[in-house]
């Protein structure tokens, strides 16, 4: 890692990929430079399955020294949701030393310009991509995701989201040219003439507050958007999901250094147990941008208190699926069963409330009563997860005891239509892997259409707990959907209907309440999955998140343009 | 005004202009569709000088009925800074009635799409442009600007800024296509296929809180950015500058109605004396966007309290000019004299602090001591304003008694190098027109380089009061510049230097503190003037303003993109 790289070399290497990414965000067609299949890795620099496993194993019980200024001790202690201790130690930092050190490289990074920054970011992503197998284990053993999901969501999909942010950042910074000649006619007199230069300048240190469930997928957009717009990035991982982001920081520091920039432009702030360093960091005057994924409580705190910073939050929401009618009953059931099961319902995009008319729905398999729909869905989940091998491939380990407690107490909320069961993991006997619960609920208007309504389904119940809510009509379903999105937010909304009128009602509700809608998904695309370069993750327009991944608004406030004009 | 207009007709009419505007914001070359010269008006629909004067005269003593829902009375009482009473009355509104009425047209306005909205906005601007002479009198007799400035800044330049915002809004909304086909290969299996639709959706009611000094120039960017992105706009003018924005609202309502949209998408909220309606409006849940120009105190209040809204503020700053050296001493003096005099220093961009080395500067006219530079600048101002006719053409009427008091008390702050004099206005004997004051100040480091420093030049002194600050070196000048921008903000920074080293220092300071810099202006462009489509007004990166006019960040958060995806 001592061979120097010029930015010109990096631009030459990565410009074609950047151009494809720029094209993808304009067309929104399918595109990804990062293979999804584990077998696609292993050639050249890229680690294959065994090498990735070995690299991860070699990390266990070690100390990851990032050679950061202000290191004043060591911290660690992650225990995998699958039951193994990682035993990795990370530097603990004195932020009074680290933050000034992070600022000292800003001017050179700014002067490098948007294209060089994009190329450096793409080199970081390329090196991470080559270690996807290693990262997959790191994500699996911090988030509790099953291996294949950790591989895909934590690897290529996260790398896609990072590259998408780089593409948006590049576009936004280059909307204004670097130079302009300005000649204003003055009738018979000489024209007024100015030479103008425009420079994208960073805001200051950007703080990434990582989450437990998707450390890379939710972390990369903010990290790369800020770095590509010239800001140093301080990464504060969730204490139970440090490793994937520590490795990311390590790679970033290596590339920055090789390319002649200050490695301290990216740094890690791991915390000691119960230290709660996020509040301290978030209100430091040097910190001007914050990206956060996590609880509504802390997200709201950040928005209210970190007033010196631009704050981007993804918080909690209550995701709804309206089930009105379908021409593919079996496809609908299997699609929903998969959505409820994936990662044991621990996605911010997992459907929570399934709104089903009390008097049933019309389907290609005949009229189905509310009870039949719920029973058939429960059976579909059972069928999907009946085999323990497949169950373990789809589900995930429960990420924390609070989620486990919610599963155990779900029966107190109503009649259980599908009970959760524990699945034994053959490789990790210490893992707590659970199947989803479905609880029946009364969706009569009086249950939810008052300001003090306290129906269980009106608040987020994070984890594999879903509510089959019996509503009185499609109109009521849409009204409850509106109320839920407006008051609680939603990362996703789904709907199944063969009625153009109901489809129109749901669509209008989503446009007005600003929620992303998936209609009649019955195949291999699921409401809880979004594809970078094409789908928006969240809308930024309802309480679940104040920004979307990824659009112009996500990058535009991460830099400013300074103009210097001179008499020509 | 009863002939209906289709949006297709409006698009056909205005698309070529929109395309030119889109090109201008990309190249930043000079462009404007709005003539600056008063004689360019009077053909066709456009009012000439006499017609404009007559139209303004006819407004005096009348009631402007906008036919708005919730009108519960009438208010008015503007008195021109030039001494005449306008006697115009405006509707007073019950916001509990008006706000819901403003929301009812949102869906149709949203569904019209970005191009139709841009065309409607350009039609509004075209009709305002045709009445530029009439608007000029309205701006003059509310802001106190001399006629020519009211004509240009309040007319074509304001219209340019409005159109620039429309161009940015259009670009931003169309970065994502309306539709996309997404086809993801699945190896030997059938590909996954989705049809995706993307719709720009508004945030909600946008509130424009207008200012006294530039009601149209500072008001149009926010108004048109919000309207073009689909939001209804409620215009709350400064109580002393209602007329120009009331006319604007009237024109907008007319065009919206003719084009088949709800006129209530734009409405006026004039207030009764001391009513202070801005605080009430700013915290209404319906209000999701706020544009504000005015005092730092109220701007800070909005940012802290209107948490339900995106808040764009332009507040106060302390603008600095570093005078290090020049190769055109005469040009520098006359350029600065003009900048200090224009509109009697009542621009947010007027230089306040002139930092001059205590031991003098090198010039093409030989070495000049600090005292000589100050005396020569005072003489240049005197020369520029020696003739009352020219003085009245350049200066302006003092906009409020607080500005007058600041001029009168300037002598208490230090040695007066140039005293202010009152200029009699031949047409308006009641006007208070004043020339600028220059006060000498000690710029030794100990005066400003401590946290509790209280030198007069460290705070904004709005109006024609400038400080000639004697600094110990160019390095000190740059250090004081940095401190001022960082702590107090700046809309503009100027510098005169022939030294590449000093130029580099000043440039680096502006890049790091995020301030717009004008270098060595000695001709007909002034530090306090910016041209739409090319120059940024403010940076959004220092305390003077949290956004710039106009860039992607100014429009990107005014809408969100909602995606609806369907199985293909």
pLDDT 10s digits, B36-55: 999 999 999 999 999 999 99
Q: How far is B118 from chain A (nearest CA, A)?
A: 19
Residues in A closer than 8 angstroms to B552, CB to CB, are 172, 175, 552, 556
DSSP3 helix / strand / coil % (chain A, rounded to 5): 45, 20, 35
* % of chain B residues with pLDDT over 70: 99
Q: How far is B550 from chain A (nearest CA, A)?
A: 10
Closest CA relative to residue B220, chosen from B238, B244, B241, B253? B244
Give B1's pLDDT tier (boundaries 50, 70, 90).
very low
Residue B382 has a CB neighbour count (10 Å cut-off) of 14
Rounded CA separation B539/B516 (Å): 6
Q: How far is A55 from chain B (nearest CA, A)?
A: 29
Q: Which of A192, A511, A552 sits opposite B523 (nearest CB)?
A: A192
Q: Which residues contact B405 (CB under 8 A, 6 or more apart)?
A: none
**Residue A301 forms contact with B (CB below 8 Å):** no
Closest CA relative to residue A91, chosen from A298, A261, A271, A266? A271
* pLDDT (0 to 100) of residue A4: 74
Tokens encoding B301:
């209040």
pLDDT at A5 over 90: no
B156-173 helix and B106-130 helix, angle to the nearest 10 degrees = 150
Q: How far apart are the first and last CA of chain A?
A: 46
Q: Which of A510, A523, A560 sits opposite B192 (nearest CB)?
A: A523
For B110, name the nearest residue in chain A, comparing CA atoms only: A511
Closest CA relative to residue B300, chosen from B454, B84, B488? B488
Task: Please state the rounded mean pLDDT for residues B76-98.
Answer: 97
pLDDT at A556 over 90: yes
User: Rounded to two decimals, what is the model's pTM?
Assistant: 0.97
3-state DSSP assignment of residue B199: strand
* pLDDT (0 to 100) of residue A2: 45
**Residue A172 forms contact with B (CB below 8 Å):** yes
Q: What is the largest CA-CA distance in chain A?
A: 88
Point out which residues pair with A292 in neighbouring strands.
A209, A313
**Residue A285 forms contact with B (CB below 8 Å):** no
Residues in A closer than 8 angstroms to B177, CB to CB, are 26-28
- How far lies A416's CA from each of A371, A429, A436, A438, in Å? 12, 27, 11, 6
Give A568's pLDDT tier (boundaries 50, 70, 90).
confident
Residues A22/A171, Cβ–Cβ less than 8 Å: yes
**Residue A40 forms contact with B (CB below 8 Å):** no
Rounded CA separation A220/B188 (Å): 31
Mean pLDDT of chain B: 97
* pLDDT (0 to 100) of residue B226: 98
Rounded CA separation A181/A196 (Å): 6
pLDDT in tens, A40-86: 999 999 999 999 999 999 999 999 999 999 999 999 999 999 999 99
* pLDDT (0 to 100) of residue A258: 97
**Residue B40 forms contact with A (CB below 8 Å):** no
**Residue B303 forms contact with A (CB below 8 Å):** yes
Long-range contacts of B247-251 (CB under 8 A, 24+ apart): B247/B64, B247/B128, B247/B131, B247/B134, B247/B135, B247/B138, B248/B124, B248/B128, B248/B216, B248/B219, B248/B220, B248/B223, B249/B66, B250/B64, B250/B66, B251/B124, B251/B127, B251/B128, B251/B131
Residue B121 has a CB neighbour count (10 Å cut-off) of 29
pLDDT at A463 over 50: yes
pLDDT at B137 over 50: yes
Q: Regarding beta strands B465-471 and B517-519, do their DSSP bridges make them parallel or antiparallel, or are they unpaired?
A: unpaired
Residues in B closer than 8 angstroms to A198, CB to CB, are 28
Residues B567/A521, Cβ–Cβ less than 8 Å: yes
Contact between chains at B29 and A507 (C-beta distance less than 8 A): no
Q: What is the largest CA-CA distance in chain B?
A: 88
pLDDT at A333 over 70: yes
**What are the DSSP calls for A42-76, one per residue?**
-STTS--HHHHHHHHHHHTT-B-----TTEEEEEE
Residue ranges of alpha helices (H) inside A365-423 are 370-385, 388-394, 401-409
* pLDDT (0 to 100) of residue B2: 45
Residues B470/B441, Cβ–Cβ less than 8 Å: yes
Tokens encoding A227:
């770095």
Q: How many Å is the Cα radius of gyration of chain B?
A: 25
Contact residues, B window 213-252, toward A, CB-based 8 Å cutoff: none
pLDDT in tens, A198-221: 999 999 999 999 999 999 999 999
3-state DSSP assignment of residue A504: helix
- How far lies B489's CA from each of A21, A133, B314, B354, in Å? 37, 49, 10, 16
Contact residues, A window 451-510, toward B, CB-based 8 Å cutoff: 507-508, 510
**Residue A568 forms contact with B (CB below 8 Å):** no
Q: Which of B172, B517, B541 sits opposite A560 (nearest CB)?
A: B541
Closest CA relative to residue A329, chosen from A360, A365, A380? A365
Task: Please state the rounded mean pLDDT for residues B495-507.
Answer: 98
Task: Please state the rounded mean pLDDT for residues B433-450.
Answer: 97
Contact residues, A window 174-193, toward B, CB-based 8 Å cutoff: 175-177, 180-186, 192
**Residue B519 forms contact with A (CB below 8 Å):** yes
A132-143 helix and A147-154 helix, angle to the nearest 10 degrees = 120
pLDDT at A1 over 80: no
* pLDDT (0 to 100) of residue B5: 84
For A169, name the nearest residue in chain B, comparing CA atoms only: B552
pLDDT at B324 over 50: yes
pLDDT at B350 over 60: yes
Q: Which of A520, A552, A563 sits opposite B556 (nearest CB)?
A: A552
* pLDDT (0 to 100) of residue B4: 74
Residues A144/A81, Cβ–Cβ less than 8 Å: yes
Chain A interface, best mutation among B194, B309, B489, B532, by max A CB count within 10 A: B194
pLDDT at A3 over 70: no
Task: Please state the rounded mean pLDDT for residues B413-435.
Answer: 96
Residues A160/A533, Cβ–Cβ less than 8 Å: yes
pLDDT at B117 over 60: yes
Q: Which residues contact B59 (CB under 8 A, 6 or more apart)?
A: B86, B88, B134, B138, B243
């Amino acid at each position: 890692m001592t061979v120097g790289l010029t930015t010109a070399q990096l631009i030459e290497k990565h410009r074609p990929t950047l151009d494809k990414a720029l094209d993808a965000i304009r067309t929104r067609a399918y595109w990804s430079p990062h293979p999804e299949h584990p077998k696609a890795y292993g050639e050249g620099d890229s680690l294959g399955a065994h090498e990735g496993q070995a690299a991860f194993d070699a990390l266990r019980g070690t100390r990851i020294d990032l050679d950061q200024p202000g290191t004043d001790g060591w911290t660690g202690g992650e225990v995998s949701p699958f039951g193994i201790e990682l035993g990795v130690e990370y530097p603990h930092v004195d932020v009074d030393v680290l933050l000034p050190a992070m600022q000292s490289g800003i001017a050179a990074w700014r002067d490098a310009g948007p294209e060089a920054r994009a190329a450096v970011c793409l080199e970081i992503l390329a090196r991470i991509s080559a270690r996807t197998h290693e990262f997959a284990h790191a994500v699996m053993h911090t988030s509790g995701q099953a291996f294949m999901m950790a591989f895909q969501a934590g690897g290529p999909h996260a790398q896609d989201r990072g590259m998408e942010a780089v593409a948006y950042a590049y576009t936004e910074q280059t909307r204004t040219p670097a130079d302009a000649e300005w000649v204003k006619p003055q009738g018979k007199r000489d024209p007024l003439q100015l030479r103008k230069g425009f420079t994208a300048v960073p805001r200051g240190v950007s703080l990434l507050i990582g989450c437990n469930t998707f450390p890379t997928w939710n972390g990369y957009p903010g990290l790369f958007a800020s770095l590509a717009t010239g800001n140093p990035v301080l990464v504060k991982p969730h204490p139970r999901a440090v490793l994937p982001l520590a490795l990311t920081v390590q790679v970033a520091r290596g590339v920055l250094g090789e390319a002649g920039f200050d490695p301290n432009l990216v740094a890690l702030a791991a915390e000691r147990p119960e230290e709660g360093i996020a509040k301290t960091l978030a209100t430091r005057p040097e910190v001007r941008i914050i990206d956060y994924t996590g609880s509504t409580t802390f997200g709201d705190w950040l928005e209210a208190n970190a007033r010196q910073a631009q704050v981007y939050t993804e918080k909690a929401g209550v995701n709804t699926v309206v089930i009105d009618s379908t021409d593919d009953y079996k496809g609908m059931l299997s699609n929903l069963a998969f959505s409820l099961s994936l990662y044991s319902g621990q996605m911010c995009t997992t459907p929570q409330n399934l709104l089903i008319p009390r008097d049933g729905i019309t389907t290609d398999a005949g009229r189905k009563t509310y009870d039949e729909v719920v029973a058939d869905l429960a059976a579909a989940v059972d069928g999907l997860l009946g085999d323990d091998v497949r169950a373990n491939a789809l589900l995930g380990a429960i990420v924390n005891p609070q989620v486990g407690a919610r599963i155990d107490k779900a029966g107190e909320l109503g009649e259980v239509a599908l009970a959760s069961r524990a699945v034994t993991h053959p490789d990790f006997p210490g893992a707590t892997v659970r199947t989803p619960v479905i609880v029946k609920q009364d969706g009569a208007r009086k249950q939810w259409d008052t300001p003090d309504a306290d129906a269980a389904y009106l608040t987020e119940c994070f984890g594999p707990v879903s509510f089959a809510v019996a509503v009185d009509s499609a109109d009521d379903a849409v009204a409850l959907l509106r109320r839920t999105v407006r008051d609680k937010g939603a990362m996703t909304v789904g709907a199944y209907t063969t009625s153009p009128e109901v489809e129109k009602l749901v669509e209008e509700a989503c446009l007005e309440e600003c929620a992303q809608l998936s209609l009649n998904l019955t195949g291999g695309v699921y409401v809880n999955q979004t594809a970078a370069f094409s789908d928006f993750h969240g809308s930024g327009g309802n309480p679940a998140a104040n920004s979307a991944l990824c659009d112009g608004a996500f990058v535009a406030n991460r830099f400013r343009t300074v103009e210097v004009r001179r008499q020509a």
